[in-house]
Amino acid sequence: MITHHLDIEAAEFTAATGWEIKPEGACKADICVPLGPGAFNVGSTAERLGMAVVHDPNAGMWALGPESFSGRALATAQAPELVLSDLAGNEFRLSSLRGQKVVLVAWAPY
């Protein structure tokens, strides 16, 4: 997640990371990570989720890395939502294939 400031709202954080801020904590799929009392704060939330925060002062930007609190790339076997587009710009959601087996292949032209 790229941001030009760290004063972001919970909704923006959720849209970029998939982690929804609820009373019980930051939640995604079948996992909720408690955040403690108080209003949403991106710094403490990132710390709790094990998200690195990298600042590039020359560019005036920060980037948040993905969560690392579980020590594994997959904290759960529930597939995360994946939203990507095809060559024509058509948006595709992985969840639209629920009910079918899916073989997801990562490739690259290099």
Partner 1 sequence: MVTASLELSGPDASRAYIEAAAAEHPSLLDPTHLLDSLFGVVNIPNVVWIDEDGIIVRPPEPGWPADPAILRPAALQRSGTSSGERADDDDPEAQRRRRLMELLGSGQDRAAYADAIRDWVTNGPDSPYRLAPDEVVAASQPRSKAVSEAAAHFELGNHLWHDGQRDGAIRHFNAANRLQPGNWTYKRQAWSLVGNERVGGERGRFVQGPLPGEEADWPFESDFATDVHKLELGQYYPKTI
* Residues in contact with partner 1 by the rule CB under 8 A: 1-2, 18, 50-54, 56, 58-59, 61, 63-68, 70-80, 82, 84-87, 92, 94-95, 97-110
Phi/psi of residue 21, nearest 5 degrees = -90, 115
On the 0-12 / 13-18 / 19+ scale of CB atoms within 10 A, 60 is exposed
What's the one-letter identity of residue 7? D
Which CB atom, from 39 or from 54, has the smaller least distance to partner 1?
54
Phi/psi of residue 46, nearest 5 degrees = -60, -40
Which CB atom, from 39 or from 77, has the smaller least distance to partner 1?
77
Which CB atom, from 23 or from 72, has the smaller least distance to partner 1?
72
